[in-house]
Chain A
Amino acid sequence: MPDVAHQPGPGEAAPEHKEPPYIAIFFVLGVLTLVELGVAFLPWPKLTLILLLLLLAVWKAVLVALYYMHLRFEPNRLRMLAIAPLPLAVILVVAVIQEFS
């Protein structure tokens, strides 16, 4: 009987890695939130503001997903599972918005 691949248990879901810098990331998230607040009220062109604010929001979201949700340390298959809905979400919005732009 062929050896079925080892299924990791709860305590060994991901390979051993050093504890991520949770507190440092917390400060980065806090600073990025303050930067967002500052940027939102700048008298810059609207498109520039929108792109900059979206960039900051995505940056924060990626930090949360990578370090607090531990995606950075998960197997590739799980990362694919987590990322899979994102292109669909973008396609949905971009496709429908064509009707109105």
Chain B
Amino acid sequence: MAHGAHGAHGAVMQPPLYAEPGAGVYNEKLGMWVFLGSEVMFFTALIGSYIILRVATPAAWAPLSERVLNVPITAVNTFILICSSVTMVKAFAAAQLGRQQALCRWLLATVLIGATFVGIQVFEYQELIHKGFVPSAGLFPSTFYTMTGFHGFHVSVGVLCLIYVTWKAFRGKYTGADHRGVEVVGLYWHFVDLVWIILFTIVYLI
């Protein structure tokens, strides 16, 4: 008994293990990557359900040429989102170099282009609803609005985050040595672009 207590006491007195270096990145960035990992699973659930429903009920999906979706305007919108990724990454490059004016300019451009994407998506929704393509009209419309709606929500959140980061940039809060906010929001923004690349192909082109 006494020996056991001594042993336990001895274990408590052992020196603590030293922290491992981790992934070699700062905490905010690591946190964003973990969050993006969970987002992958979120969108997998949506896209996976869409694929499974489509395989299970092929009659519910009209051929590409007969669908009401406006592919050309969405292709332009896809290109717009890709443009916003470029402006975002240029903002990050400017932040790394400590170029304040360029950082503000590129961030502002990203906000405007991102908002344009959301605006075009709203216009597309209005057009589709006008044609009777409403969520309750069938399996394809309901899955379409669920996937593109959640993506649009993510883009909208991204635009709000970008507005905050841009406001901070205009106040000179980011330097060449510390521009974590720009990098972290940039990761989120590029991820949203990446998801749209996949969604555009699966929903609009296949």
Contact = CB atoms under 8 A, between A and B. Distances in A.
Interface of A: 2, 4-11, 13-14, 19, 22-23, 26, 29-30, 33, 36-37, 39-41, 49-50, 53-54, 56-57, 60-61, 64-65, 67-69, 74-75, 77-78, 81-82, 84-86, 88-89, 92-93, 96-97, 99-101
Given A22-B93, A39-B205, 4 more contacts: A68-B190, A69-B191, A86-B40, A97-B52
Contacts of A74: 25
A56 B82 CA distance: 15
A13 B29 contact: yes
Given A4-B21, A5-B21, A69-B190, A26 B55 contact: no
B79 A7 contact: no
B24 interface: yes
A23 B178 CA distance: 25
B52 A78 contact: no
A9 B82 CA distance: 29
A81 B33 contact: yes
Interface of B: 18-26, 29-30, 33-34, 36-38, 40-41, 44-45, 47-48, 51-52, 55-56, 64-65, 71, 75, 78-79, 82-83, 85-86, 88-90, 93, 96, 176-180, 183, 186-187, 190-191, 193-194, 197-198, 200-202, 205-206
Chain A residues touching B, majority SS: helix
B85 A64 contact: yes
A89 B48 contact: yes
Given A11-B177, A78-B23, A84 B52 contact: no
B29 A41 contact: no
Nearest to A9: B26
Nearest to A58: B198
A82 to B, nearest CB: 6
